[in-house]
Amino acid sequence: MLLEMTHQPPKLPEGYRLDLASDPDAPALRRPDATVVARFIAGGVTPEAIEREALEDLLLRAGRQGEVRREGQLAEHRLLSLVYSEVSSAFNPKKIG
């Protein structure tokens, strides 16, 4: 399970959402335009981590880069998330038909 029942759901900025349906093994944080901000490892993420990613993305998009982690660190995190997603897909192929 992504979030234990003892945790409150993440409080996300308006329009941001956690997409659990597209890949239950690597839920995606999505912007209002549905683009992916980050993917998380199911079972290993806290509501606070999801909230932090959404807020950092919102601030970066608003041009306030000095208030959050350096852009390179975010890019590295997203790259690792993408690699995890690809590896996960390779070990968990989806059935067709």
pLDDT at 68: 45
Give the whole-angstrom CA distance, residue 1 versus residue 63. 35
User: What b-and-e string marks burial along 81-90, b requiring 16 or more CB atoms within 10 Å of the CB?
Assistant: beeebeeeee
Per-residue pLDDT of the chain (97 residues; tens, 9 = 90+): 444 445 678 899 999 999 989 888 899 999 999 999 999 987 778 899 999 999 999 988 887 545 445 555 566 666 666 656 665 555 555 555 5
Amino acid in the structure at residue 21: A
pTM: 0.57
pLDDT at 84: 61
pLDDT at 42: 76
| Count of helix runs (H) and strand runs (E) in the chain | 2, 3
Q: What is the DSSP string of 60-91?
A: HHTT-GGGSS-HHHHHHHHHHHHHHHHHHHHH
Residue spans of the domains in the chain: they are 17-90
